[in-house]
Amino acid sequence: MTQKYFAQIYVTLRPSVLDPAGTAVQSGLQHMGYDNVERVRIGKYVELTLTAADESEAREQLDRVCDQLLANPVIENYRVELTEIPVAVETAGV
């Protein structure tokens, strides 16, 4: 039996990689008077719903998706938060 999962994927530049978009946003914030903002890093956020036999299989699939499509492993890291979606309980007569 398969189970549904909801995945939240965060893709960010590795700390050693320069982030020109983050630098531009930080500069803009400082020009707007937000001098207390010390650092900005820009990334991507992806939501995915998938089915898998179990959590381990879901994580393996998500790792492949991230490595092959969503993240560039040379310059980006990713983090996956995975939540099992409960199966709706069907009740008779409803």
* pTM over 0.75, yes/no: yes
Amino acid at site 1:
M
88: which DSSP letter?
A: P
- What pLDDT, in 10s, does the model give residues 31-69? 999 999 999 999 999 999 999 999 999 999 999 999 999
Quote the mean pLDDT of the chain. Answer: 94
Which residue's entry shows tokens 């409960």?
Answer: 86
User: Residue 90: what pLDDT?
Assistant: 46
Domains and CATH numbers, the chain: 3-85 (3.30.1280.10)
Distance between CA 51 and CA 33 in Å, rounded? 46
Asked if 41 and 77 count as a contact pair (C-beta separation under 8 A), the reply is: no
